[in-house]
């Protein structure tokens, strides 16, 4: 009985990975210990798409865009696009990260996110740096 429950739990967890990624939300405490901010999909504040760039996108589209931003920052080779598309609406985008560089003890990567939605295409650019917990923070 116990083995069956473990097998079902493992299958459930793996199905989330096979379904197109993850969208984790974690709290990140600033070094001062005073401020707590939210990391959505591994990016503090949700990345470029959670700003004006994704203002007319629905929640599902934003989460797909956040996952693409995280994948581009985390593992895509410099210049290799990470694409996402919502099959229901046809909206989609491309995230392209540049070569990583180091600032002090942090790894940082400039990146761009191009979205095609609402009859047009728009692009936003930014730089994110990796936090000690593995999340990324978009520099403002």
Q: What is the model's pLDDT at position 37? A: 57
Write down the pTM of the prediction. 0.74
Q: Which two tokens stand for residue 131?
A: 């936090």
Taking the C-alpha atoms of residue 17 and residue 20, their distance in angstroms, rounded to an integer, is 6
Bridge partners (DSSP) listed for residue 84: 93
Mean pLDDT of 3-20: 38
- Residues 100-123 have pLDDT tens digits of 999 999 999 999 999 999 889 999
Give per-residue pLDDT as tens, 50-109. 998 999 999 999 999 999 999 999 999 999 999 999 999 999 999 999 999 999 999 999
The predicted structure's pLDDT at residue 40: 86
* Residue 110, beta-bridge partner list: 127
Q: Can you tell me whether residue 53 is helix, strand or coil?
A: helix
**Cα 128 from Cα 140, distance rounded (Å):** 9
DSSP 1: -
Residue 11, pLDDT score = 41
In angstroms, the CA 44 to CA 136 distance is 6
Which one-letter DSSP state was computed for residue 76?
A: P
Euclidean distance between CA atoms 31 and 52, whole angstroms: 28
Query: Measured between alpha carbons, how far is 102 from 91 in angstroms, rounded to an integer?
Result: 34
Report whether pLDDT(21) > 80.
no
């Amino acid at each position: 009985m116990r083995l069956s429950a473990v097998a079902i739990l493992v299958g459930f967890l793996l199905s989330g990975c096979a379904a197109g990624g993850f969208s984790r939300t974690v709290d990140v405490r600033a070094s001062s210990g005073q401020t707590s901010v939210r990391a959505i999909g591994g990016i503090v504040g949700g990345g470029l798409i959670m700003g004006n760039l994704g203002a007319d996108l629905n929640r599902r589209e934003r989460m797909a865009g956040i996952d693409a931003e995280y994948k581009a920052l985390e593992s895509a080779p410099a210049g290799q696009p990470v694409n996402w598309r919502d099959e229901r609406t046809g909206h989609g985008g491309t995230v392209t990260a540049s070569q990583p560089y180091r600032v002090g003890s942090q790894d940082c990567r400039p990146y761009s996110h191009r979205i095609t939605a609402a009859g047009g295409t728009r692009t936003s650019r930014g730089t994110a740096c990796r936090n000690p917990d593995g999340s990324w923070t978009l520099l403002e």
